[in-house]
Amino acid sequence: MTTPKHVNGSNCPACAMKLLQTDLKLRIWFVSHVLPQFPDFHVAISYRNEADQNEAYVEHKSDLKFPFSKHNHMDSLGKPCSKAIDLFQLFGDGTAAFPIPAYQKLAVGLPDTMRWGGTFTDLRDYDHFELL
């Protein structure tokens, strides 16, 4: 199965697929808070399986091994249900950006059930938003 590409517009197929593996509260936050302010924002990472998480650890993209990241969370049935998402901005020419001022703006309006990776003291993770 090929992975769909991210496209700007009302229905990004790649984000839709990633959001299916995301906790409902985060899904609602992305659709109702992120997209209205930043319509060209996308979900880079939601759920990471064991192989992906341990690869991210080796590449220093995460300081946690599987299953200790919020990106590794599963529901009671063992279905991927990530409690974290990483966001990026997609330009029309297909390039991506990670705009810290936009992340900061989202962090200011964050519900108190959520936390922004930009406030982590150990490894600042500006594009990362998670449920507590």
Site of interaction with Zn ion (CB under 5 A):
6, 12, 14-15, 42, 84, 86, 128
Residue among 77 and 132 whose Cβ is closer to Zn ion = 132
CB 102 within 8 A of CB 118: no
Whole-number minimum distance, CB 84 to Zn ion, in Å? Answer: 5
**Smaller CB separation from Zn ion, 42 or 73:** 42
Rounded to a whole number of angstroms, the minimum distance from the CB of residue 71 to Zn ion is: 6
Please identify, using beta-carbon distances, which residue of 16 and 24 lies nearer to Zn ion: 16
User: Which is closer to Zn ion, CB of 77 or CB of 116?
Assistant: 116
Among 40, 118, 35, 117, which Cα is nearest to 84's? 117
CB of 41 to Zn ion, least distance (A): 8
Minimum Å gap between C-beta 125 and Zn ion is 6
CB of 101 to Zn ion, least distance (A): 19
Q: Which residues pair with 66 in a beta bridge?
A: none
Residue with smaller CB distance to Zn ion, 8 or 24: 8
Phi, psi of 40 (to 5 degrees): -100, 20
For residues 117 and 97, what is the distance between their CA atoms, to the nearest angstrom? 17
Query: What is the DSSP code string of 54-114?
Result: HHHHHTTS-S--TTSSGGG-B-TTS-B-BSEEEEEEE-TTS-EE--HHHHHHHHHT--TTE
